[in-house]
Amino acid sequence: MDTLRYYERIGLIDAVERTATGQRRFTDDHLEWLGTLKCLRDTGMPVEQMCRFAHLVREGDHTIDDRIALLEAHRVAVDERMADLAAKRDYISGKIAYYRDVR
Amino acid sequence: MDTLRYYERIGLIDAVERTATGQRRFTDDHLEWLGTLKCLRDTGMPVEQMCRFAHLVREGDHTIDDRIALLEAHRVAVDERMADLAAKRDYISGKIAYYRDVR
DNA sequence: GTTTGCGTTGGAGTCCACTCCAAGTCCTAG
DNA sequence: CTAGGACTTGGAGTGGACTCCAACGCAAAC
């Protein structure tokens, strides 16, 4: 919840609808958007870049190409990260094998 | 360099040999250890856990089993991270495909 | 031999992304 | 109807991992 409020504050989420007494009512659209945000965040996209993406989305359909470019760049980053993790995972496996040997 | 000093300060690296004038002279052993540290760090191991590992290494050979356990737990974490990244990468690919469609 | 630039120190500062606080209101289960 | 939990606010605080600072010494290049 705090994180949601934080995201709302920095403009990652549009101002959310409220009940008469001021409580947030998230719509399905919001939940979907939050899912996207979570995906980007969890794959290491900095909050600032997510803001840029959110801005593009808010701007309307003429930013579709920019959004594609942004997501593609991010996908490349994710791929690189996965490759790096895979290589380092192997190094760790090697260490484990080494320790098993000397034990 | 600052990071190295920081690691030395918190005990991740043994006090490094110095020249007469106080400059650090890293040995091959250090470089290898630094490689290991970098690998663990880059795969998301928190500094605190790396300290625990460094401590085990310093303790001597009777900690080999503990080290294996620690590295295996970490390898599992890395595997999970990779699986998560792969799934989310696919979601991103789906988004891109969607945008390509509506463009 | 002088300039350029890397190394040294302890300690303070920075950055990112939250996360918590206090004081109050509202919603829901029993 | 009441108790307990969940929500509200602006703003301050946290945690992790560095990263920078000033003032200086030393080293390597020319």
Q: What is the DSSP string of chain A?
A: -HHHHHHHHTTSSPPPPB-TTS-B---HHHHHHHHHHHHHHHTT--HHHHHHHHHHHHH-GGGHHHHHHHHHHHHHHHHHHHHHHHHHHHHHHHHHHHHHHH-
Within 8 A by CB and 6+ apart from A58, the residues are A14
Q: What is the pLDDT of residue A21?
A: 80
Contact B85 A88 (CB under 8 A): no
Considering the domain delimited by A2-102, tell me its CATH architecture.
Answer: Orthogonal Bundle (1.10)
Contact A68 B99 (CB under 8 A): yes
Q: How far is A51 from chain B (nearest CA, A)?
A: 16
Among A13-27, A37-51, B35-49, B79-93, whose mean pLDDT is lowest? A13-27
pLDDT at B36 over 80: yes
Q: What is the pLDDT of residue B27?
A: 87
C chain positions with any atom within 7 Å of a protein CB: 7-9, 11, 16-21, 25-27
d(CA A23, CA B92): 31
Q: What is the pLDDT of residue B70?
A: 98
Give the nucleotide at minimum CA-to-C1' distance from B24: C7
Q: What is the pLDDT of residue A82?
A: 98
| Model pLDDT for residues A12-57, shown as the tens digit of each residue | 998 777 777 867 888 888 889 999 999 999 999 999 999 999 999 9
d(CA A23, CA A6): 15
List of chain A residues whose C-beta atoms are within 8 Å of the C-beta of residue B43:
85, 88-89, 92
d(CA B40, CA B71): 9
Q: How far is A41 from chain B (nearest CA, A)?
A: 10
Domain boundaries, chain A: 2-102
Q: What is the pLDDT of residue B19?
A: 81
Confidence of residue B20 (pLDDT cuts 50, 70, 90): confident
Size of interface A-B (CB pairs under 8 A): 82
Average pLDDT over residues B4-19: 88
d(CA A91, CA A8): 41
D chain positions with any atom within 7 Å of a protein CB: 7-9, 11, 16-21, 25-27
Q: What is the mean pLDDT of chain B?
A: 93
Average pLDDT over residues B71-89: 98
Contact A36 B95 (CB under 8 A): yes
Average pLDDT over residues A52-73: 96
Q: What is the pLDDT of residue A18?
A: 79
Q: Which two structure tokens, joined as six digits, stand for B100?
A: 């390509």
Contact B96 A64 (CB under 8 A): no
Q: How far is A52 from chain B (nearest CA, A)?
A: 16
